[in-house]
A = this chain, B = another copy of it.
Amino acid sequence: MATEDLMTKVLDALGDAQPTAEAIHDLTDLAEVPSSMTIAEVADRLALSAHTLRYYERAGLVTVARDSQGHRVYDAGAVRRLVFLTRMRLSGMSMRELQHYIELVDAGEHTVPERTAMLAEHRATIIRRLRELTLSLVAVDYKIATYGGAAGSDVERGPSRDAAA
């Protein structure tokens, strides 16, 4: 019964989900961002490779200043944007979409409606993904619970093929 509970609970939780957000601030973007960081520091902090950071820059997702030696200097704004980008990437937004979104951001305030629309759509995608994953979780639990997992023959070709419902 715990499995059914799981699914119901999660699905219920997903059902509510009317945002408000307040103290989650740092969870989202902030959390003491030094006013300037090197590529190595940012990479470390975001758990990305320096390669990837350069790639994101080339892709037009962030603009990063250089110091006298030509080395990248990430200011707080850049880092926060990268935090946002990383979160979006992790939640399944494609590079292409992110590029579009950033174009909108750079285009000015009048694109806010379209941005909001994008976020709303992405939100829906996340929810779908959550449901999907929850379903798979139930399936995996079922497999684990019944036996090592017969992958296809399911009720392991044995004599008794009834058991439960």
Q: Residues on A close to B: CB < 8 A?
A: 1-7, 9-10, 12-14, 16-30, 62, 77-78, 80-82, 84-85, 87-88, 90-91, 101-102, 105, 109, 111-116, 119-120, 122-123, 126-127, 129-130, 132-155, 163-165
Contact = CB atoms under 8 A, between A and B. Distances in A.
Given A21-B142, A138-B24, A149-B116, A16 B2 contact: yes
A17 B21 contact: no
Secondary structure of the A contact surface, majority rule:
helix
A137 to B, nearest CB: 5
Contact of A138 (B21, B88, B101, B143): B21
A13 B10 contact: yes
B141 A84 contact: no
Could you say how many copies of this chain the assembly holds? Answer: 2
Given A10-B130, A26-B165, A123-B140, 15 more contacts: A2-B18, A20-B141, A25-B165, A28-B138, A28-B139, A84-B151, A84-B154, A91-B132, A111-B148, A115-B149, A116-B144, A119-B143, A119-B148, A127-B137, A130-B137
Contact of A80 (B91, B109, B137, B154): B154
B150 A105 contact: yes
Contacts of A142: 19, 21, 24-25, 27-28
Nearest to A84: B151
A156 to B, nearest CB: 9
